[in-house]
Structure 1
Amino acid sequence: ILQLASLDVSGLHTSLENMEALLKTVNSSLRSLTLNHIKRSRTQLINLSCSIPTVSKLQFRSNDLRTISLYFFKPCVNVVELDLSENHIKSIDENAFTSMRNLTILRLSKNKLSSVPNGEFEGLKSLWNLSLHQNQINILDTETPFSDLHQLEELSLHGQHHRGKSSLPSNFLQGLYRLLSFNVRNSQLINLDKDTFVNTPNLERLDLSSNDLEILTPELFAPIRNLKSLYISRIAVHSLDFLAGANLTRLEFLQGRHNQYSVVTKDIIESLPSLWYLDFKYNSFYCDCSNAWFVNWTIFSKQTQVNDAYNFSCNYPDDFKGKRLLDFDLKSCSQDINLIYFASTTSMILFVMAGSFIYHFMRWQLYYAYYLFLGWLFDSKYKNKQAPHQYDAFISYNHHDEPWVIGELLPKLEGEQGWKLCLHHRDFEPGKPITENITDAIYGSRKTICVISRRYLESEWCSREVQTASFRLFDEQKDVLILVFLEDIPTYLLSPFQRMRKLLKKQTYLSWPRAAGHPEVFWENLRKALKTGNDPNEENFLSLTQE
C-alpha cells in the first residue's frame, strides 16, 4: 500500500499508536484522508494527519467537534480541501484558519453556528469555495465576515435553522468581487436590500428559493448583469414584472416553481434573450387572453425548453379551473385582435376619405376659416398695442419691382398727392426682426398696397406680408388691402391669399398694364382707394380691375 493515494478509516476504533503506524506506511503517497465518526483523540488525529506532507484533502465529519480553537489546524499548512461537516461546531476562534493559506475548499455545513463574526476566515487568501449551509446563522448582523475572501467564487448559506425571520444586510457580501455562485435557499429571509449585490458584479448563479421575498425589484439585479442561473421557487411573488426591467440579458436558466404569479407577459420573456431553460411548474395560470402570447411562445419556441409545460394548470376563470394551460383555445384571442385591427384600419380609411372629400369640395371655406382664426390671434395682439396710424399706406413689393415703385409710385403718391408711405428700405427699424417690422408696418398704416408681379408671388417675405394684411382684413373686417398688378397674371397662379381676396372683393384689383392708355385714371382710382373708409361693403368705384 506504499502508493496508496486515498485512505478512509472512518469509524475505525483503534489506538492512536496503531493509527500512527498505519499512516506511516503511506506517508509518501497519500493525498486524501477520511477520518469520519471516530470521536476521540481529535487533536492528536489532526496533528497526525497533517504531519503527512502529501495530504491535501482532509475529511473530518461527524466527530462531535464543538469548537475550533486557535491552534487546532496549525499543522495543516498543506491541506487544500477541508470538510468539517456534521459536527456540533458552535464557535470558531478568531484566526483559527490563519495557517491554512493553501486552503481552497472549506465545508462547515450541518453544524450549529449561529453567527459568522469577523476574523473567523482571516488568512484564507486562496479559498474559493465555502459551504455554511444548514447551520443556525441569523443573518441580521451588519458585519462583513467575508471581506478577506477575495478569491471566493462559491458561497453556500442555504437551510439556516434559526428562530424568526432575518434580512440580508447590504454589506454582507462585501469583498466578494469574484463570487460566481451564491445560495441562500430556505434561510428565512424576508427582505433583500437593493444594494445587496453591489459587491458581487460577476455573480452567475443565484438561489433565493424558499424565502418570504414577496417583492423583488429590478434595482436588486442591476449590479449582476452576468447572471446566468436564477432560482426563485417558493418565494411567494405575485408578479414577474421585475424581470422586464432587470436587464438580465445573459440569463440562461430560470426556475420559479410554487409561486403566485398567474400571467407571463411578452415583455418578461423578451427581456431574457439568452434563456434556454424555463421551469414554472406548480403555478396556477390565468387561462384567458392575457396569457395567449405565453401559450403560443411555449408551444413554438425553438430556443427555450419549458419544463413540463404540458402540465401547467389553470386557476382562472372558474370554468377552466384544473384544466391544462396549453389546452386553452387561442382562436378567440385572435378574433379579438383581428376585430381591433379591422376597426382601427376602417376608421383610419374613413378619416382619410372624409379629409380628402372636405379638402376637395370645401378647401376655400377651410382656408377662410383658418385665416380668420389666425387674423383674430394677430389682431388681438396688435390692435390695442398700436398708436394712431403713422402712415397712410405700407407698400409691399418685391425688390425686382423697386424701380417702378421708386420711379412711378412714390413720386405720384408722396410727391403729388401728399400721402405718407412706409417702405422697407427707408422706414424699417434697423436691428428689429424682419417679421416684427412687417407686422408693425401693416398695423401702423391705414392701408397696405401690394405691388404684385410674378416675382412677388415667388417671394416668401412678400407672401408673409400679404398674409399679415389678410389677417387684419379678416378679423377687423376693414378694407385695408389694395392689390396693384404690374403684370397680367392668370388666376390659377395666385396663392390662396389672393384668391380669397378676389372672392371677398373682386373690384379692388388695379391693373397697371390695362392703364397704359390712360394712366391718370389709374392714379386717380388709387388716390380714391387710399382716401376711402375701411368698410369693405361700401360701393367700390375702381374701374380698372384684374379679373
Structure 2
Amino acid sequence: MKQEKIMRSREARHFQLSLLFCLLNFSSFAIPVTGYSLKNCRINYDYIAICSKSKLKAVPQDIPSRVRSLDLSENKISKIRESDFKDLPNLTNLNLKRNNISKIDKGAFTNLNSLKCLNLNNNKLVQLQDNLFHGLSNLTELRLASNHIKTVASSSFQALTNLKFLDLSINNLQCLTSVQPIIQHLPRLQVLSIKQNNLFTFQSWELSNKSIELVSLDLSKNPFDVFKLTADVFPNLTWLNLGYSGKKHPMIWDVQNRTFLRRVSKLDISGIHLSFDGMKTLLESVNSSLTSLMMNDMKGNLGALINISCKIPSLSTLQLRQNALKVVTSSLLQLCVNVTEVDLANNHIQNLSDNSFRSLQQLRTLNLKRNRLSSVPGATRNLPTLVELDLSFNKIGALGCHDFVNLTSLRELSLQNNSISTLKDCVFKDLNKLQSLKLQTNRISDLNGAFKKYLPNLKFLYLNANKLTTITQREFASLQSLKSLSLHQNQIKKLQNGAFIGLTNLVNISLESNKLENKEIKAGVFSGIRNLTRLNLMENRIKYDTDAEMPDPPFSQLTRLETLLIKSQHYRLKSHLPRNFLQGLTNLLVFNCRNIQLLSLHLHTFNYTPQLTELDLSSNDLTDVYADLFSPIPNLKQLYMSTTNLRSLDFFLRANLTKLQFLQVRKNAFSVISEREMRSLPALDYLDMYGNSFTCNCDNAWFLQWVESNNQTQVYDAYNLECNYPTDRKGTRLLDVDVHSCSLDTGLICYISTTCMVLLFLVVSFTSQFLRWQLVYAYYLLLALLFDTKKKNKQAPNQYDAFVSYNVHDEAWVFRELLPKLEGEQGWRLCLHHRDFQPGKPIIDNITDAIYGSRKTICVISHRYLESEWCSREIQVASFRLFDEKKDVLILVFLEEISTSQLSPYYRMRKLLKRRTYLSWPRAEQHTGVFWEKLRRALETTDHPAGDRLLLTNQA
C-alpha cells in the first residue's frame, strides 16, 4: 500500500509540473514585447531624433513624444503644417535648415512650449506673417538666415518674449523699418544679426525711439550709404560688426554723440568703405571703451589706421589679417604699446624686422600663421611677456638653439605644417613654462634628444604626421608633466624598452598609422607610464598567429588603461589574439579591434576586463562565437559586431548582457531573430541590423511584430530592411510582409481553452459518477499494455516455473497450502513477490520481470485480490502475455466464489472466464488431491494455446 501511495504521489507531481510548464509557455506568448522603429530617422541616447538627409518632403509623424531634439535639416520639406509638431511637447531644439520651406501654417508651433532653439536657415521664406511664432514663449534662439525674407508682419515676433538671439542674415530686408517690429516685441534680445541684406541706410530713428538692450549687432556686408545715430538707442552694445559695409564709394558716418557707442569693446571694420577722415571719426566714437579691433583686408593706408587705433588707450587686441603685408617694419606697430594680442595671419609676410614687436611691452599673443616665413623670425625672440606664439603653415625648414631665447613665459607654441626636418637638443632650452607644443605635419625624422632635458611643464606634445622611425629609450625623459603624446602617422618601426620612461603623468598616447609589429608591443615598452588611460595602436602591423598564452602580456602594467584601440591592422592574413592579450587591463572600458582579420576569439579573452562597457569586434570573421565569451563583461553597454559573418545571435542567451544598450550587427549572415535572443537583452535601446538577409515568413513573425509594436528598442532603418528568403519575396521590404496569418488570436485561444476545460470537467465528473470502474479498468489496461510491449521487446529467458500472483490477505493459504505442495512435494520453482522481488527496483518493473521470467502465472483470486491495484496490474500483464504471445501462461485459482456481477468492472477477467477453464478451491474441499494433481498437470503443459483445456475443469 505504501508503494501504491508513492506511485500516485509521483504521478500527481508530474501532472502538476506539466500543467505549470504549459501555463508558463502560454504566459510567455502573452507578455507584451518592446521595440520601435522610425521610418526615416534614428534616435540617439540623448533623445535626439536625427532625420537629416533623408529626402523627406514632409515632417514625419512617427517621432516619439519624449524626443528633446529633432534634426530635420537637409531635406525637401516645403511646408510646415499645423499638426506637424503637436505631439512633441518636450522638444527643446528644432533644426529645419536647408529645406525648401516657403510656407508655415498658422499655429504650427503652438504646442512647442518647451522649445529653446529654432533653426530655419537656408529655406525659401519670403514673408513672416502675423503670430507666426505663437506658442514659442520660451524660445531663446531663432535663426532665419539665408531665406528670401522681404517683409515682416507687425506681430510676427510678439510671442517671443524670451528671445535672446536672432539671426536674419542674408535676406532681402531693404529698409530698416522692416526690422522695427522685431525690435519692439523682443524686450530680452541681446544678439541681432542682419548682415548681408539690402540695407542702404542705417538711421536710428528708423529702428526705434527708445533704448534697445542689444549687446551684439552684426550689420556687415550691407551696402550702406549712411550710418547715422541721432539717439542713444544702444546703451548696452559691446560688439559691433560693420565689416565690408558700404558701396564702392565711401559711406557717410554720422554719430552725433561719442557717448552713443560708449560701451562698444569689440569692433569689426574689415574691408569697410569709408574715407580716412570718416574712419578717424569712427574710431574716435569708440575711443573710451574699445578693446578688440578687426581691420582685415583694408584698402587704405593701413599704417595710419594702426597709429590712430593704437592711440585708443583701452585697445588690447588688434587683428590685421589679409592685408597683403610682405614686410613688417618696426614702425608699423610702434604706437601699440598697450596691445597684448596681434594677429597677422593670412598675409604674405616674408620678413620681419628684429624690432617689429619690441615696442609691444605687454604682448601676450602673436599669430603669424599662413605667411611665407622660411625661418623663425628674430622679432619673436626676447619677448618675455609672450604666452602664445603661432608660426604654423609657413615654410620654416629648421629650428636653431636661439630661436626661442628668453621666451620664458611662453605656454603655447604652434609650428605645425612647416618643413622642419630635424630637432636639436637645445632648441627648447628656455621654454620652461611651455604647456603645448605643436610640431605635427613636418618632416622630422630624428628628435636628437630634444625632449630629454627641457620642457618640464609640457602637457601636450604633437609629433604626428612626421617621419619618425624609432623611439629610443628615455626619449621623453624630461617631460614629467606630459599628459598627451601624439605620434600617429609617422613611420615608427621600433619602440625600445623604456621608450616612455619619465612620462609619469601621461594619460593619452597615440601610435596610430605607423609600422609597428607585434614584437614591438611588449610590456617593457610601456613601463613607467602606469597612469595611462588611453592607448591608440590602430593601423599598424600587429599580428598574432595563435591564441596561445603569451609569456609576457604587453599591457600587464597598464592597470589604469580605460581605452585600447587596435583596429585596422595592415595585413591580409588571418590572425588571432593571444588568450591573455588583455591581461592586466582591469579598468579597461573601451576595446576596439575592428578589422584585424580575426578568425576567432578565445573563450577567456575578456576574463581580464570586467569593467568593459564598449566593445567593437566588427569586420572580423567570427562565424562561431562562444556562448560564454561575454560572460566576464556584464557591464557592457555598447557592442559592435558588423560584418563578422554571424549566422545566429543565439550566443546572447548565455552572455548575461543585461546592461547592453547599443547593438550594431550590420551585414552579417543571420536571417531569423528569435524572441529569446531579444529578451536576453532587456536594456537594449538601439539595434542596428542593416544589411542582413532576412527570412520573410512565419519564422520571423515575432520579430516583425516586435519591431513595430512598442517604444523601448529602436531598430535603426527598419523600414529599409529587405527580405532575401524565400526567393519570391527577395527584395521586398521586411516590414511590408504580412504575418498576421502566423499569429494566433489570444482571445480565441483563451475562449477555446476555457471551453475545453469546462467540457473536460463535465466529462470527468460524468465518468467518475457513472463509469468509474470502467475508467479504472481502462487505465490499468493501458498501463499493462505499455509494460507488456516493453517486456516483449526484451524477450527475457524463463527463470521460474511459475509466478504466483496473490493478495497479501491470502498469503496464509499460499504459504500453508500452495507453497508446500508445489515446491515441497512437486518440486516446482515458484516466484513470490515477498521473496524474489529485487529490493529498490520499481514495483511495476519487478512484476513484469517476474511474469515474463516465468513459464506460467498462477493468479490466486479472491475478493481482496480484485480490489488490489497491484494485483489488477499483475493479471493484466499476464493476460496480455497470454493473448499477444498466443502462449498458455495463465492459471486461474479462485479461493472464493465470485459472482459475474462482481467481475463486471474487470472486463478482461470476465472474458477469460468465458473462454477458459479454471480451478476452484472451495469446490475442491473434499477432493484436494485431484485439485493439486490438476494444478501439477497445468504446470507441465506446453505453451500451446489450448494445452490445458483438457486438464482443467470447473469441477475440480
Contact 1:473 1:481 in 2 (8 A): no
**Structure 1 range deviating more: 118-127 or 24-33:** 24-33
Secondary structure of 1:499's aligned partner: helix
- Superposition deviation, residue 97 in structure 1: 1.0
Structure 2: where are the runs of 5+ without partners?
1-339, 341-361, 366-385, 412-429, 748-758, 840-845, 942-946
1:74 maps to what in 2? Answer: 477
Among residues 197, 208, 216, which one is paired with 2:605 in the alignment? 197
Deviation at 1:457, TM superposition (A): 3.7
1:365–1:330: structure 2 CA closer, same or farther, 3 Å change rule?
closer
Shift in Å at residue 29 of structure 1? Answer: 11
Aligned to 1:11: 391
1:344 alignment counterpart: none
2:915 corresponds to which residue?
Answer: 504
Q: 1:8 to 1:278 in 2, by over 3 A?
A: farther
Structural mapping, 1:84-99, within 5 Å: 84-99=487-502
- 1:211-233 CA deviation, whole Å, 9 max, x = no partner? 35262422583454433322123
Give 1:128's aligned residue. Answer: 533
How large is the Cα RMSD of the aligned pairs? 5.7
- Count residues in correspondence: 512
The answer on 1:22 being equivalent to 2:407 is yes
Does the Cα contact within 8 Å between 1:175 and 1:199 map onto a contact in 2?
A: no
Cα deviation for residue 105 of structure 1 reads: 1.7
| Structure 2: distance between partners of 1:247 and 1:498 | 61
Sort the Cα spacing of 1:501 and 1:483 in 2 relative to 1 into closer, same or farther, 3 A. Answer: farther
Cα displacement string for residues 246-273 of structure 1 (whole angstroms, at most 9, x for unaligned residues): 6252332111334454443444434433
1:373 Cα deviation from its structure 2 partner: 5.6
User: Hey, what does 1:537 align to over in structure 2?
Assistant: 949
Deviation at 1:277, TM superposition (A): 0.9
Shift of 1:208: 2.5
Look up the match of 2:657. Answer: 249
Question: Matched residues in 1 for 2:782 and 2:410: separation?
Answer: 110
Residues 71-220 of structure 1: pairs in structure 2 closer than 5 A: 71-115=474-518, 116-118=520-522, 119-134=524-539, 136-140=540-544, 144-160=553-569, 162-170=570-578, 171-187=580-596, 189-195=597-603, 197-202=605-610, 203-209=612-618, 211-213=619-621, 215-218=623-626
1:94, distance to aligned residue in structure 2 (A): 1.9
The alpha-carbon deviation at position 278 of structure 1 amounts to 0.7
Specify the SS of the correspondent of 1:480: strand
Q: Distance in 2 between matches of 1:167 and 1:34?
A: 38
Write the deviation string for residues 265-286 of structure 1: whole angstroms up to 9, x where unpaired: 4444344333221112344534
Q: Which residue of 1 aligns with 2:101?
A: none
How far apart are the structure 1 equivalents of 2:728 and 2:863?
77
Q: 2:29 maps to which residue?
A: none
Q: Distance between the aligned counterparts of 1:454 and 1:138, measured in 2?
A: 89
Task: After superposition, give the CA deviation of every residue in 1:92-144 in whole Å (9 maximum; x if it has no partner).
Answer: 3221112222322212234444553422212222212111224x323237764
SS, match of residue 711 in structure 2: coil
Partner secondary structure for residue 139 of structure 1? coil
- Alignment CA distance shift 1:197-1:113 (3 Å): same
Local SS of the residue matching 1:293: helix
Q: Does the 8 Å CA contact 1:197/1:223 hold for their aligned counterparts? A: no
Residue type matched to 1:279 in 2? D
Match of 1:240 in 2: 648
Give the equivalent residue in structure 2 for 1:294. Answer: 703
Gaps (5+ residues) in structure 1? 339-348
Deviation, structure 1 residue 42? 5.3
> Structure 1, residues 272-321: CA drift from partner, whole Å, max 9, x if none?
33322111234453444343332221111432111121222344555545
CA contact (8 A) 2:919 2:952 kept: no
TM-fit CA distance, 1:328: 1.7
Q: CA deviation at 1:400?
A: 4.4
Q: What is the letter of the counterpart of residue 84 of structure 1?
A: L
Return closer, same or farther for 1:430/1:154 CA change in 2, 3 Å cut-off.
same
TM-score by length of 1: 0.71
Indicate how the Cα distance of structure 1 residues 510 and 155 shifts in structure 2: closer, same or farther if over 3 A, else same: same
Kindly state the Cα deviation for residue 58 of structure 1 after the two structures are TM-superposed: 3.8
User: What is the SS of the residue equivalent to 1:102?
Assistant: coil
Map 1:396-545 to 2 at 5 A: 398=807, 400-401=809-810, 433=838, 448=858, 450=860, 452-459=861-868, 475-477=886-888, 480-485=891-896, 491-492=902-903, 495=906, 498-505=909-916, 508=918, 510=920, 512=922, 520=926, 523=928, 526=931, 529-530=934-935, 535-538=947-950, 542-543=954-955
Which TM-score applies when normalising by structure 2? Answer: 0.44
Amino acid of the structure 1 residue aligned with 2:690: K
Q: 1:179 deviation in Å? A: 2.4
- The alignment partner of 1:296 has SS state of helix
Q: Give the whole-Å Cα distance in 2 for the aligned partners of 1:32 and 1:23.
A: 12
Structure 1 residue 156 displacement after superposition = 1.1
Call closer, same or farther: CA 1:379–1:217 in 2, change over 3 Å: closer
Aligned partner of 2:721 among 306, 312, 336: 312
Amino acid at match of 1:140: Y
Relative to its length, the structure with more helix (as a share) is 1
1:11/1:37 contact within 8 Å kept: no
Percentage of identical aligned residues: 30
- Aligned partners of 1:60 and 1:286: how far apart in 2? 52
User: Deviations for 1:390-415, whole angstroms, at most 9, x for unmatched residues?
Assistant: xxx998665645677789x689x97x
Letter in 2 for 1:538: L
Code of the aligned partner of 1:82: L
Deviation at 1:157, TM superposition (A): 1.9
| Residue equivalent to 1:345 | none
Letter in 2 for 1:291: N
Which residue identity lines up with residue 594 of structure 2 in the other structure? R
Between the two structures, name the one with larger relative contact order (CA 8 Å, sep ≥ 6): 1
Aligned residues of 2:404 and 2:431 also touching (Cα < 8 A):
no
- Contact kept, 8 Å, 2:387 with 2:410, in 1: the verdict is no
Q: 1:457 to 1:167 in 2, by over 3 A?
A: same
1:150 offset after TM fit, Å? Answer: 2.8
Q: Distance in 2 between matches of 1:88 and 1:371?
A: 80
Q: For 1:167, what is the secondary structure of its paired residue?
A: coil
CA gap 1:9/1:47 in 2 versus in 1, 3 angstroms: farther
Q: State the secondary structure of the residue aligned to 2:623.
A: coil
Q: 1:277 to 1:8 in 2, by over 3 A?
A: farther
Shift of 1:378: 11
- Aligned-partner Cα distance in 2 for 1:314–1:379: 53
Q: Which moved more, 1:118-127 or 1:257-266?
A: 257-266
SS of match in other structure, 2:702: helix
Name the CA shift for 1:58/1:396 in 2 (closer, same or farther; >3 Å): closer
SS at match of 2:575: strand
Amino acid of the structure 1 residue aligned with 2:391: G
